[in-house]
Amino acid sequence: MENAIKKYWPVFLLPTLAAFIIGFIWPFIWGIYLSFHKFITVSKTTFVGIDNYIKVFQDATFVEAFWFTARFTIVSTILINVLAFALALTLTRGLKGTNAFRTVFFLPNLIGGIVLGYIWQILLNGLLTNLGLPLLALDAKYGFWGLIILMCWQQIGYMMIIYIAGLQNVPGDLIEAASIDGATSFQTLIKVKLPMVMPSVTICTFLTLTNSFKLFDQNLALTGGEPAKASQMLALNIYDTFYARAGAQWKGIGQAKAVVFFLLVISISLIQLYFTRRKEVQQ
Amino acid sequence: MANKTYAAVMANKTYHDGAVSGARRVVDAALIVLLTALCLVWIYPVILILSNSLKLETAISTATVFALPTSETFVGLANYVHGVTKMNFLASFGYSVVITLTSVALIILCCSMCAWYITRVNILASKLMYLLCAFSMVVPFQMVMFTLAKTADTLKLNTPFNICIIYLGFGAGLAVFMFTGFMKSVPLAIEEAAMIDGCNPLQIFFKVVFPILKPTAISTAILETMWVWNDYLLPTLVLDIKKYRTIPMAIQYFRGSYGRVEMGPMMACIMITVIPIIILYLACQKYIIEGVVAGAVKG
């Protein structure tokens, strides 16, 4: 049977493979190649070694964007997961109207980043004006917390759904056994439920961590990096380097930034998976 | 007793635990009130846009954004008409629909075939393809955006009809990953029986395998639709923004290019974008939520 299928590779494998090469493999390899070159148009490139990479770390905006992104990622990952887990616990108690609540909380997730950013810009600017405070685009502090609020609003529902699925898989017997043994509900939560939903915790922290770190659309729409790039995150900084800066060297530096960004994302994902996977228990 | 679900046990605790029950009922009532309030906060941003989209242009400013439309400031659907005509919004809507439908259909068809091939044919190329697909899911788009846009230009993939090939390439990672995850649990016996009955691999795939894959196909289609429909950066870099604008592009474009953005029509357009999503979500909520859970577990 295997041999019969094997002959059909032009039908089964080729379309996806060809698109995958065009859409991912070739741009990826070419991107690494270009990060070692200086160029304005891709037809004329000069090899410059690791020069671009040195300039990446000399670029103050990139370093600043890195710290902004790091702070944002830590705060949003913790907030989203704690709140989503709390909501999931409340919505698995068998309350009336659980389905309606779940529906509402998940809704923002389906709205795209650009539209979300714009909606929140209108709301937050209105709020800040009425409180007599500077607008989002004038103070990076508000930009930061605006992004956090937006991200919570968008992601809590999604993570909540995953936590609910995890909690519903905890065997009822286990909870009952704990309560017969005299465990308080807090003890049951920490000693029984939490270890049992560790796979969901792994998934949710992974998703929130990478989503926050790679955030682009929401950043562009909510603050656009204003004021003076102070609320710019890494993804937007890379975009800005490619398309908004004049000068022969910037495209190469932009590509080098992209490679650094890629390496950061990969390392964060691997470290996170290593640490949370260790805490998972065998079911 | 043995098969009691978590939810059943929790519900049971709530209503039949004797002494605890009274206190628990009070807590539950308080929680319901709290959750209802939270839900109102949750939908408030959308309500705010809706209320402003019905107001006179001069009545919209950051200071008055929270005021509801009054008889003087209410303009009915005028903003909607103006927004749709001025932004050529119907064309944008059309492009978004065409791009999303063709891309998702192509992804489901090609990736399910590819996934079946790489699970059933045990060669090095299959393993390599699988690993590369898993790898591509972690790579941030910024890594390839510049070179991808150049490649798309060279290969003339920069029209709303050809861009689906790029979406197939970039969306293949998730789709192949999800399909192979499911394929591994499908027994070979049925396919072998079909083969003995004289089916060729194409017939086996479409008559036997694909129907089994249907639940995974629905989940994958939902995840990919959510991505393609809302995607901003890829179409911005690949398509000519003067000729073709998808909805996210149109919204960002009109904010950036006009000195003073007309807020009323803008908010009307946001509502036109959001309302179909809400309707679609309420209609197939079950599938969407299942799709998200399935995608998360595989990912």
**Does the structure show a pLDDT above 50 at A77?**
yes
Give pLDDT, residue B15.
Answer: 46
CA distances in angstroms from B272 to A264, B119, B230, B247, listed in the order given:
38, 43, 14, 10
Instruction: Match 């939560």 to its residue by tokens.
Output: A189
Of all residues in chain B, the one with the smallest CA distance to A95 is: B28
Using an 8 Å CB-CB cutoff, list chain A residues near B278.
107, 110
Phi-psi region of A206 (alpha: psi -120 to 50; beta: other; left: phi over 0): alpha
Which helix (DSSP H) or strand (DSSP E) does residue A113 occupy? helix A113-130
Using an 8 Å CB-CB cutoff, list chain A residues near B286.
none
Give the Cα separation of B79 and B57 in Å (integer).
8
Q: Which of residues 82-141 of B touch A (CB under 8 A)?
A: 110-111, 113-114, 116-118, 120-123, 125, 129, 132-133, 136, 138-141
Residues A230-244 pLDDT 10s = 888 999 999 988 888
Cβ within 8 Å, pair B45-A175: no
Phi-psi region of A38 (alpha: psi -120 to 50; beta: other; left: phi over 0): beta
Mean pLDDT, chain A, whole residue set: 87
Give pLDDT, residue B8.
Answer: 58
Tokens of A160: 């909540």
What domains sit in chain B, N to C, each tagged with a CATH number?
Answer: 6-74 (no CATH), 87-257 (1.10.3720.10)
Q: State whether CATH 3.50.40.10 applies to domain A52-278.
A: no
Cβ within 8 Å, pair A23-B2: no
Give pLDDT, residue B107.
Answer: 95
pTM equals: 0.86
Residues B60-77 pLDDT 10s = 777 777 777 777 777 778
Task: Grade residue A59 by pLDDT with cuts at 50, 70 and 90.
Answer: confident
For chain B, how far is it from start to end, CA to CA, in angstroms?
33
Does B177 contact chain A (CB < 8 Å)? Answer: no
Gap from B181 CA to chain A (nearest CA, Å):
16
Gap from A63 CA to chain B (nearest CA, Å):
17
Give pLDDT, residue B1.
Answer: 35
Give pLDDT, residue A132.
Answer: 80
Task: Grade residue B29 by pLDDT with cuts at 50, 70 and 90.
Answer: confident
Give pLDDT, residue B138.
Answer: 86
Residues B208-241 pLDDT 10s = 889 999 888 988 898 888 889 989 999 988 888 7
CA distances in angstroms from A260 to A47, A53, A87, A225, A270, listed in the order given:
18, 8, 36, 20, 15
Residues A178-227 pLDDT 10s = 888 888 888 888 888 888 888 888 889 988 998 999 999 999 888 887 78
Out of B110, B169, B229, whose CB is closest to A22? B169
Helix (H, G, I), strand (E, B) or coil at B244: coil
State phi, psi for A47 to the nearest 5 degrees.
-70, 130
Does A175 contact chain B (CB < 8 Å)? Answer: yes
Residues A98-145 pLDDT 10s = 888 998 999 998 888 888 988 898 888 888 888 888 777 788 888 899
CA B60, B64, B66, B70 torsion-angle sign: negative
Give the Cα separation of B42 and B45 in Å (integer).
7
Give pLDDT, residue A40.
Answer: 78
ipTM of the complex: 0.85
**Does the structure show a pLDDT above 80 at B19?**
no
Taking one residue from A and the other from B, the number of pairs with CB-CB distance under 8 angstroms is: 303
CA distances in angstroms from A237 to A31, A248, B61, B122, listed in the order given:
17, 17, 30, 43
**Does the structure show a pLDDT above 80 at A277?**
no
**Cβ atoms B277, A110 nearer than 8 A:** yes
Gap from A73 CA to chain B (nearest CA, Å):
15
Residues B92-112 pLDDT 10s = 889 999 999 999 999 999 999
Gap from A254 CA to chain B (nearest CA, Å):
9
Gap from A79 CA to chain B (nearest CA, Å):
16
Tokens of B92: 């944008």
**Does the structure show a pLDDT above 60 at A283?**
no
Using an 8 Å CB-CB cutoff, list chain A residues near B36.
97
**Does the structure show a pLDDT above 70 at B2?**
no
Of all residues in chain A, the one with the smallest CA distance to B283 is: A103
Give pLDDT, residue B258.
Answer: 52
Give pLDDT, residue A160.
Answer: 93
For chain A, how far is it from start to end, CA to CA, in angstroms?
36
Give the Cα separation of A74 and A213 in Å (integer).
9
Rg (CA), chain B: 25
Out of A12, A25, A175, whose CB is closest to B6? A175
Mean pLDDT, chain B, whole residue set: 84
- Distance from chain centroid for Cα B115: 22
Instruction: Match 């905006």 to its residue by tokens.
Output: A61
Q: Pick the closest to residue A88 from A200, A5, A171 (CA basis).
A: A200
State phi, psi for A64 to the nearest 5 degrees.
-60, -45
CA distances in angstroms from A164 to A60, A99, A167, A170, A212, listed in the order given:
43, 12, 5, 10, 22
Looking at the DSSP bridge assignments, the partners of residue B55 are B74
The average pLDDT across B152-173 equals: 89
Give the Cα separation of A238 and A254 in Å (integer).
6
Task: Grade residue B283 by pLDDT with cuts at 50, 70 and 90.
Answer: confident
Amino acid identity of residue B12, one-letter, is N
Using an 8 Å CB-CB cutoff, list chain B residues near A151.
none
